[in-house]
Each structure stands twice: as C-alpha cells, then as structure tokens.
A and B are shown apart, each in its own frame.
Chain A
Amino acid sequence: MNTFDYVKPATVGEAIAAASEPGAAYLAAGTNLLDLMKGGISRPSRLVDISHVPELDRIEDLADGGVRIGTLVRNADLAHDRDFARRFPAVAEALLSGASAQLRNAATVGGNLLQRTRCAYFYDVASACNKRDPGSGCDARGGDNRLHAVLGWSESCIATHPSDFCVPLVALDAVVEIEGKAGRREIPLEKFHRLPGDTPERETMLEPSEMIVALRLPGEAARFAAHARYLKVRERTSYAFAVVSAAAALRVENDRIVDARVALGGVAPKPWRAREAEAILAGARADASLFRRAAEAALADARPSGDNGFKIELARRIVVRALALATAGTPERVPALPASPFATVSGDVIHA
C-alpha cells in the first residue's frame, strides 16, 4: 500500500475542500478501498475520511412516502430497519444477499454504489486493464471471462458492476444526491454509472471532489412492496458475487400486472434496468409465457464477451423465476438464504 495523507473533515464542506487536491479519495468504511489499496490497484495520495461527518448516517422518511438514506448508513442497518424493509423488501433482500455479516456491518450505502468491479484482471496489476491503466489493453478479452458482461460492454472493457443493492434500486427509480465544489445536484441511479465505451476508467458521473451525500427512493417505489423480490445465482450458497441476478417488482390487481419493474445484476458494467421487459409485463395477465417473453426482451441485446454465452440464458431464467416469485408475493420475512433461487418456498404469509 502506498503512503497517504489522512484528513478527517468535520463537515461535508470541509470534506469537499480536502478532496479537491489531485490524488485524493474519500474513505468511508473502506471495505473495498482498503482492499484495492493493499493490492496497489488504487493509490490515493490523500484519504479524506468522511466516516465521522455528522448527519450522513440517517434514514429519513419523505413526505411522498419515500425515503432518504444518508451515504454513511451501513448496509446491515438499512436492511434491518423494519420500516424500510417493509416498504422496500427487494432492496432489503438484495442487501442481505451481499457480502458477509461483518462486511454489511461496516460497508456504507455510498460505498456500495462506488465499489469497483471484481474482474480478476482489474485486480491483478500484472495484467493489462484499460480500467486500471487506460490504454494498456484488456487481458479479460481472451482470458478467463466466463463471469464477464453480456450487456453494455465494449471492446475496451467487459467487466461487470458487482453490486446487489443497486439492482432493485435502479428498478425502483432511486436518485443519487451529490455534493461538490459546484454545489448540490442529483442524478437518477440509472444514469449514475457510465457504460465503458472507450473510457472504462470513468465509471460514474461524479466529477472530481464530488461525493454522494444521500440516496432517495420515491414514494412510488413503496407501491411494489407486496410483490417484490431479488434473486441471485452464485457459485456457492452464500458470500459470493452474483453470476447473474434480477430484481422484479410488480403491482398486481386481479391476476393482472398493472405496473412492473425489472433490473438485472452481474450482466453489465452497470445495474441494468430492463424497460423493454417492463413494457411487455404492464397490463398483461401474469403467467409463465408472459414471464418468458419479458425475459427474452430483457436480454434481446445480449451477446457474449467471451466464454460467457451461458449467462444470457441463465439471466433469462432468473428473470422468469424472479417474476414468478414476485407474483406469488413478498415473503413476510427475508428467507434464511436471502435471494437464493435454491431457498425452499416456505409458504410465509404474504404482504397485504
């Protein structure tokens, strides 16, 4: 790990001023950043530790029935906040399916959005990686790439965004609140992460010195609470990133879907909203053939970036399964194995 200056600002304003130095990085829990620094992938010359800045760790109800989540709220605290989990159950399930209990106790909301890809070539500083070292090439192309992207990738980068949390968030129209030298602004989460194109090193819309201060979910998002699931295929039962994942949130009236939200994880360089699938579902009667058509639409533009063609069909099937489980209803409690397609159907009481 390189040496760095350490700055501990007391306010957001002080933090932004301190982060305006070239080479500065914000530190919250550090569960991803310290890992990257130990490996020499990230080499900030200054860490601006925002973890003690007051008022960034609050969960606030909004007048429209939505919620505003401070950037420092810990993943575990959000997932176990009863009122939040009742209104946004797919988000709670996604959070609980990610990482381990120890990491969820530390990792923050803002840090989750800003976590880096787990592409092994990005992590291996001896490999060529356009994201880590722009212009150096991409050793994932032609390498071990069975877990890489099938949507939104470019010739310069085929890495995926690893977040579970972001998948239901993007489906539910979450908004990112940002503060920087130029003041406050906000961006829909769907537009927050960039596609790689020729500049895979630019992953988000954040400008230098800007920081996430909060995340908002609109009241509209709570209307899906009765039929909302997150499902995630992993290579082991627990404590693994998604091979593919899907969030499905429905409003169902008399066996008819009146509104649908679908997003995919593990398939693209960003959390992937599937609006084409949503359009097919809206107004239709919920059945298996409808779910399959929606899944086909969600993956219509997918193409392998390597030895990962299997992920396209796997993603279709996880969309179908997520839609079927969402239609059946949100369980009273997050299953023992959150988001697991292998969890037994428990017959829990369904939300009203």
Chain B
Amino acid sequence: MAFSTTLTVNGVKRTIQLDDSRVTLLDLLRERLELTGTKKGCDRGQCGACTVIVDGRRVNSCLALAISHDGAEVLTIEGVAQGNRLHPVQEAFIAHDGLQCGFCTPGQIMSAIGLIAEGQAGNDPERVREGMSGNLCRCGAYQGITEAVLEARKSLGAADQRKVA
C-alpha cells in the first residue's frame, strides 16, 4: 500500500510518498527528510529525545504515526533559530550549561519551548522540573536545564496569565 502525506515542516510544505504505513513521524523526519536533529532515544515514548511540536503541542514523535498526521504543522529543532540567531531557549541552554553530551538537548529544547507556550509552570522551578519530567538527561544536567528554562521564559516575556487547574 502506498500513501502520500503532506506536512508543513519548519514552515515548508513537504509531500512525502510512503510505501509503508508503519513509518513514525520520528523516522519520517530523520530518514526521509534528513532532519536528524530530532533524536531517537528509547523509541518508546519514555525518554523525550524525539520531542517535536505538532500543531503547537509538544509530543513524542516516536509514538506518532506519520500517516495519521497528514496536514499537520511540525516544528523541529532545525526550525527554531532565525538564520544565525539562536532561539532564546537555545541561548539559555548554552548560558546555563543545560547539557553535557547533547544527545537529549534537541528534545529538551523543543519540550521547553512547548512548556513555555503552555504557560502552566510560571517561574516556579518545581513546576518547571515537573513539566520537563518527560525528558531524560543521562548526563544529569537537570539543574542547568531548569535554570535555562526559567531564564528563557523570562527573556521571551511569556505572559503566564493563564489561570490554571
């Protein structure tokens, strides 16, 4: 069975012919579109390395069937900088040593962008840690990651007005 899937990836509309219904969004990004910034860690939704933003929401791309996301807008780590100007979350990760080996970093950054957009964590480090708990860092850079997310939120001027549950 052959399928055609159209995605808008980092602002560019891409139509991909799929010869297999089993392709995940993660494999499509990495293997078909050569966007290898999004990492495959556990491939089971447990580590968060594959986090991308689909239609404005952070999700695990390893547990998303590409074919089910026809028409979706996808933002990956390759799409967050403006030319040579890094995204404020990227800058904050560098400033706060929010990484060591870097393998989890694209997922951490996409997750942090999602977290800030969700507006639930505010400037509470405990809520940031809880909100980032779907992203594992085996180097243990969590302290820097939390600081980076808090600073990035401030520099983005995120209006954390949404009253929450």
Interface size class of A (residues with CB under 8 A): 35 or more
How far is it, in angstroms, between the C-alpha of A66 and the C-alpha of B129 when the chains are bound?
34
B32 on the interface (CB 8 Å rule)? no
Q: Is the CB of B133 within 8 A of A100?
A: yes
A162 on the interface (CB 8 Å rule)? no
How far is it, in angstroms, between the C-alpha of A1 and the C-alpha of B20 when the chains are bound?
11
Q: Which of A28-36, A270-278, A287-295 forms part of the interface with chain B?
A: A28-36
Give the chain B neighbours of A338 by CB distance below 8 A: 130
Which one, A3, A51, A76, A85, contacts B21 given CB within 8 A?
A: A3
B90 on the interface (CB 8 Å rule)? no
Given contacts A4-B22, A6-B3, A30-B65, contact A239 B133 (CB under 8 A): yes
Q: Is the CB of B24 within 8 A of A34?
A: yes
CB distance from A54 to the nearest CB of B (A): 14
A333 on the interface (CB 8 Å rule)? yes
A102 on the interface (CB 8 Å rule)? yes
Contact pattern, A 85-105, Cβ under 8 Å of B = 1, otherwise 0: 110010011001001111101
Q: Is the CB of A96 within 8 A of B165?
A: yes
Contact pattern, B 132-165, Cβ under 8 Å of A = 1, otherwise 0: 1111000000000000000000000000000111
A337 on the interface (CB 8 Å rule)? yes
Q: Is the CB of B68 within 8 A of A27?
A: yes
Interface size class of B (residues with CB under 8 A): 35 or more
Given contacts A34-B24, A35-B44, A102-B111, contact A333 B63 (CB under 8 A): no
Q: Is the CB of A31 within 8 A of B60?
A: yes
Q: Is the CB of B163 within 8 A of A82?
A: yes
| Interface hits, A22-65 → B, CB 8 Å | 27, 29-31, 34-35, 38, 47, 49, 51-52
Can you spell out 24 A-B residue pairs with CB atoms less than 8 angstroms apart? A1-B22, A3-B20, A5-B21, A6-B3, A8-B68, A27-B68, A29-B64, A30-B63, A34-B63, A47-B65, A51-B68, A76-B57, A82-B164, A92-B165, A93-B165, A101-B114, A102-B48, A102-B51, A102-B58, A103-B134, A105-B114, A237-B133, A336-B124, A337-B130
Q: Which residues of A contact B (CB under 8 A)?
A: 1, 3-6, 8, 27, 29-31, 34-35, 38, 47, 49, 51-52, 76, 79-82, 85-86, 89, 92-93, 96, 99-103, 105-106, 237-239, 333-334, 336-338
